[in-house]
Structure 1
Amino acid sequence: MSSNAALERLLGIMAKLRDPDGGCPWDLEQSFATIAPYTIEEAYEVEDAIRRNDMPALRDELGDLLLQVVFHSRMAEEAGLFDFEAVADGISDKLIRRHPHVFGDVQVDKPDAVHVNWESIKAAERAEKEKQSPPDISPVLAGVTSGLPGLTRAVKLQNRAARVGFDWPDKAPVFSKIREELHELEQEIQNNGSSESITEEFGDFLFVVANLARHLKLDPEDCLRFANRKFEKRFSSMENILKSDGKDLADCDLATMDAAWNKAKDLEKIAD
């Protein structure tokens, strides 16, 4: 089956699922808002398959992600907004516009030059969007979507601010700011602050932690995903250690679990 035929088949299936006459009740009741969480989830599952180097899974996950694009496009077409063809044409136009060294007469010979040119074109595009930004949002920060994960969006906002010089020169003052924000959070908790005030202080703390990741040239989301995976692995190892001792996790006190946790850590060091 050709690529065009495969895509037409998928678009036809989606149209049938959304057909009020005989379509799927679940698909028919969905909206952009209800489908959006699935779109985000599928993108993360693509990343997970890549990280595990599982190519069969990557094929499946890319299909699931493509379904999200088709689903949104179909709902937009039904509402008279745009269709899948407009989406494909839009990204094609953008790729051509951002690659004048391939589709135009701009000459570049190194990847760094391509990156500089790409950023210059993006800056021009942002300038156009900034003209339409809400009056209460700085043009410098306009266009950083609120749908991003919090830590990722924090880094993007900080990068935008850094472009105009609003940034610490190195890591040292970031560490000081982290200690300051942690102290303010502790004080708010000790003073029995409101849920809102504690939430605000905790957010300030996370925002500065994200800034430290940026200065270290780390992706805070990647760091947290790594920590999550390490916790999962170590917790499972702890549970297996307890089981080998004839103990059920639900019946163990914290001291017993903590001892098994430390044993799991020691086993990791031996394995390394």
Structure 2
Amino acid sequence: MTQTPDPDRESYTLADLKTLMARLRDPETGCPWDLEQTFQSILPHTLEEAHEVADAIEREDYPHLKDELGDLLFQIIFYSQIGTEQGLFDFDAVVDNLVRKLLRRHPHVFPDGTLASRIDPDNRPDQDAIARSWEQIKAAERALRDEPADAGPASRLDDIPGALPAMVRAEKLQRRAARHGFDWPDIGPVFAKLEEELGELREAWSEALENPDKRDALEDELGDLMFVCVNLARFLKVNPDTALRRTNRKFETRFRAIEAALAEQGRELEQESLEALDAIWQSVKGVENKR
């Protein structure tokens, strides 16, 4: 039986969403699928929703963005409901912790650490001072955390999650190191390093062709090259993950255009030569900018 939303309600609120989530997880009358979920089982959905938010923003599909943000918010509500059931935390505790953390990290906006406090606009610090303060505050937070006995010496890189996508984590590692003076002086040496790593990759590839046992070295060199590419993106002030997603979309659009062009002529992709396919590829370049 299909139900329609309550026609008497002008709009639903966050409180309604929390109520809905509790109903979905009700042991007796809830949804069987929702009842089976755990922190671990929801995680892949959370990552997917976050990427869909990013995709909507990059495509400037703002009507769709509203839906995607709602889906992402639902993930937080879901985690919070499970946390409530297990006596770990609830949604209100998540919000309270977040507000306190942001108040603590923004003394240039909330000098007394309260929402009521205000800073003198004429004495607002500059961006460099704010960045230094932010790093000092986060360092103090790291120092206060309980670390395992075998955690080893504290590092300025400690709170960069190991589970981040590799490219995202590479950029965060580089930015953190750069804040502490470990960085190239300008972009010139980065280009030089890129050429150096490319040469080392070619050498490792040649050696791997002769000796398959050296394929680990090939992987190392490819990783080094990609790490430098992330560094280059940082100096160019380009987000590497965003740039790669943009190229993915460009490739997909052009490849689909090739398929369409061949279909119009009654030709099959797999039966065409690489030269013929490249000629069509060249002819459809720029098609993604015409849509």
Q: TM-score, normalised by structure 2?
A: 0.81
1:119/1:104 CA distance change after superposition, 3 Å: farther
Task: Tell me the equivalent position of 1:212.
Answer: 232
Letter in 1 for 2:268: D
**Match for residue 83 of structure 1?**
90
Give SS of 1:100's match.
coil
Deviates more, 1:182-191 or 1:86-95: 182-191
The number of aligned residues is 270
Residues in 1 aligned to 2:15 and 2:49: alpha-carbon distance in whole angstroms: 22
Once the two structures are superposed, the pairs formed by residues 134-145 of structure 1 within 5 Å of their partners are 135-136=151-152, 138-145=154-161
Pairing 1:38-53 to 2, within 5 Å after superposition: 38-53=45-60
Counterpart CA distance in 1 for 2:259 and 2:230 is 32
Deviation at 1:61, TM superposition (A): 0.8
Q: Which residue is equivalent to 1:124? A: 137
Equivalent residue runs for 1:83-102 within 5 Å? 83-97=90-104, 98=106, 99-100=109-110
Secondary structure of 1:191's aligned partner: helix
Which amino acid in the other structure matches residue 82 of structure 2? M
- 1:256 CA displacement: 2.2
Deviation of 1:269 after TM superposition, in Å, equals 11
Unaligned runs of 5+ in 2: 1-8
1:189 deviates by 2.5
* CA displacement at 1:114 relative to structure 2: 6.8
Compute the TM-score of the two structures, normalised by the length of structure 1. Answer: 0.86
> C-alpha displacement at 1:213, in angstroms?
0.7
Task: Name which of 160, 168, 177 aligns with 1:152.
Answer: 168
Specify the alignment match of 1:250 in structure 2.
270
Percent identity over the alignment is 43
Aligned ranges for residues 180-191 of structure 1 at < 5 Å?
180-191=196-207
Root-mean-square deviation (Å): 2.9
Distance 1:270 1:230, change over 3 A: closer
Choose from 204, 208, 218 the match for 1:198.
Answer: 218
- Specify every segment of 5 or more residues in structure 1 that has no aligned partner in the other structure, as ranges: none
User: 3-state SS of the aligned residue for 1:148?
Assistant: coil
TM-superposition CA deviations, 1:115-156 (whole Å, max 9, x none): 743651453133221454564465211211223332222111
Quick one: distance in 1 between partners of 2:122 and 2:128? 11
Q: Determine the C-alpha separation between the residues in 2 that align with 1:149 and 1:51.
A: 19
Q: Which amino acid aligns with 1:190?
A: S
In the other structure, the counterpart of 1:262 is 282
Deviation at 1:179, TM superposition (A): 2.0
Distance 2:127 2:196 in 1: 41
Separation in 2 of the partners of 1:111 and 1:50?
A: 31
2:289 and 2:56 mapped to 1: Cα distance? 28
Q: CA deviation at 1:204?
A: 1.5
Larger deviation, residues 110-119 vs 87-96: 110-119
Give, in angstroms, the shift of residue 87 of structure 1.
Answer: 0.7
- Cα 1:121–1:210 change in 2 (3 A) is closer
Cα distance in structure 1, aligned partners of 2:66 and 2:249:
23
**C-alpha contact 2:56 2:62 (8 A) present in aligned 1:** yes
Confirm or deny: 8 A CA contact 1:178 1:205 kept in the other structure. yes
1:108/1:114 contact within 8 Å kept: no
SS in 1 for 2:219: helix
Structure 1 residue 178, shift from structure 2 partner: 1.6
Deviations 1:207-243 (A, max 9, x none): 1110011111111111111111111111112222222
| Aligned amino acid, residue 117 of structure 2 | G
Counterpart Cα distance in 2 of 1:24 and 1:175? 55
In structure 2, the partner of 1:26 is 33
* Bigger mean CA offset, 205-214 vs 17-26: 17-26
1:42: Cα distance to partner? 1.3
Residue equivalent to 1:231 = 251
